[in-house]
Structure 1
Amino acid sequence: MPALIVWDFDGVLNANLRGGRTFWADNMKADLGIDPRGFSHEMFTAGDFRDILRGRRDLLLHVSDWLARHGHDLSGEDFLAYWFEKDAHPDAEVLGWLKAHPARHVIGTNNEHRRCCYIEEQMGYAAHVDHVFSSGRMGAAKPDPGFFAQIEHWAGLAPARILLVDDVAANIAAATARGWQGFHFTDTTRKALPERLGL
């Protein structure tokens, strides 16, 4: 059994994916008058989201600039509040498994600082884990080796005593290459997780 379990957030603790994609922006046109396709393309594909995820650019400034350039009156703060609320879908069953396991628990997530604060405070996950490791605070994102190395240093554990539960195969591969245990969490495998955890 692992001494430390590192839980991915989106797609594991947070059930915000359908068919492998997020759906928080599906009603954005009706709610805010903003075309989600144009926003997603510029924000996640053509933009600097890799730098945002690693804490090198501020998401609020980036979003505020995008809104202003496209003639939207909505403030960046209000847009992020909409985004984070629409993207919050806690998976009570998975959280129950976390609470039932006697190991230490942390979250290891590719999220910038502002959403990480929302996860900790508004969603309440800081109360359920020892620490939230986010790419925006760490300056490294999964599957970068530096992401895993920082958790190892913090935990003071041999890699073989750490388990990553993640929905991205590349992240599992990177972790197991370092000697971690790994569980690839998908709609198909989720039912096997309690047994894997010995619950």
Structure 2
Amino acid sequence: MKVLMVDVDGVLIHGRPADGQPLFTYLERDLGLRLDLLQQAFFQTHWSDIVIGREALEPRLSAVLAEIAPHLSAATLIDYWFENDSRLDLNLLEELAALRQSGVAVFLATNQEHRRARYLMEEAGLGAHVDDIIYSAALGHRKPSPDFFRLATARAGVPPGDIAFIDDMADNIEAARQFGWHAAQWTAGATLGGALPVFGKRA
């Protein structure tokens, strides 16, 4: 394998830094916004366009909050969101560092909108641990779309058979395998060598 693609949420990042709980666990207590309202008015309605780059995050979120939580600014909610969804898997980062030292390129392969992709690389510090980020809003397609894997392969610059991939979602794993990647589903407590034995001696 020449390239490892790594999913972010559910693999490299697990919820709140303090306790690993889901990022919006205390949303209503902290910001006075009910999660079910946010899910219905924003995520279920607009997220599919935002995550593939058709809409920008902050203007759309601002419009939604004006209706369901006029006391709350989009900037405040975005900061809260990103900061509470940034608990890093330090053991996996150590494995990735060893893998890169062996000459394997490591890319993040993730469904993200533009602002959080930048946050992950710069503020969360993942840019120091990977060669690049390949994400849905930049590609115009999200996993498990075949177009995501086609465009990600082109970005990696190697044939599909030279790419390995870890993700926590079964649909994404199946789509990657259909495209010719060597893919393994990531589960809690997994190790890179255990999930992908081809890397076992190096990681």
**Same fold judged by TM-score > 0.5?**
yes
Q: What secondary structure, in the 3-state scheme, does the structure 2 residue paired with 1:93 have?
A: helix
- Percent identity between the aligned chains? 33
Separation in 2, partners of 1:71, 1:48: 17
CA RMSD of aligned residues (A): 1.9
Separation in 2, partners of 1:77, 1:60: 7
1:179 positional shift: 1.0
- 8 Å Cα contact 1:162/1:181 also seen in 2: yes
1:144 positional shift: 0.8
1:91-115 Cα offsets, whole Å, 9 max, x none, are 1011111111121000010010011
Unaligned runs of 5+ in 2: none
1:136 positional shift: 0.9
The farther-off stretch of 24-33 and 66-75 is: 66-75
- TM-score normalised to structure 2 length: 0.89
1:156 positional shift: 2.1
Q: What secondary structure, in the 3-state scheme, does the structure 2 residue paired with 1:160 have?
A: helix
Aligned match of 2:76 in 68, 74, 78? 78
1:196 positional shift: 4.8
Unaligned runs of 5+ in 1: none
Q: What secondary structure, in the 3-state scheme, does the structure 1 residue paired with 2:176 have?
A: helix
Within 5 Å, give how 1:5-154 maps onto structure 2.
Answer: 5-16=4-15, 23-45=22-44, 47-101=45-99, 102=102, 103-154=104-155
Aligned to 2:178: 177
Q: What secondary structure, in the 3-state scheme, does the structure 2 residue paired with 1:48 have?
A: helix
- 8 Å Cα contact 1:166/1:185 also seen in 2: yes
The farther-off stretch of 147-156 and 184-193 is: 184-193
Structure 1 position 197 matched with structure 2 position 199: yes
- TM-score normalised to structure 1 length: 0.91
Q: What secondary structure, in the 3-state scheme, does the structure 1 residue paired with 2:40 have?
A: helix
1:193 positional shift: 3.1
Separation in 1, partners of 2:121, 2:190: 27
The AA in structure 1 aligned to 2:87 is: H
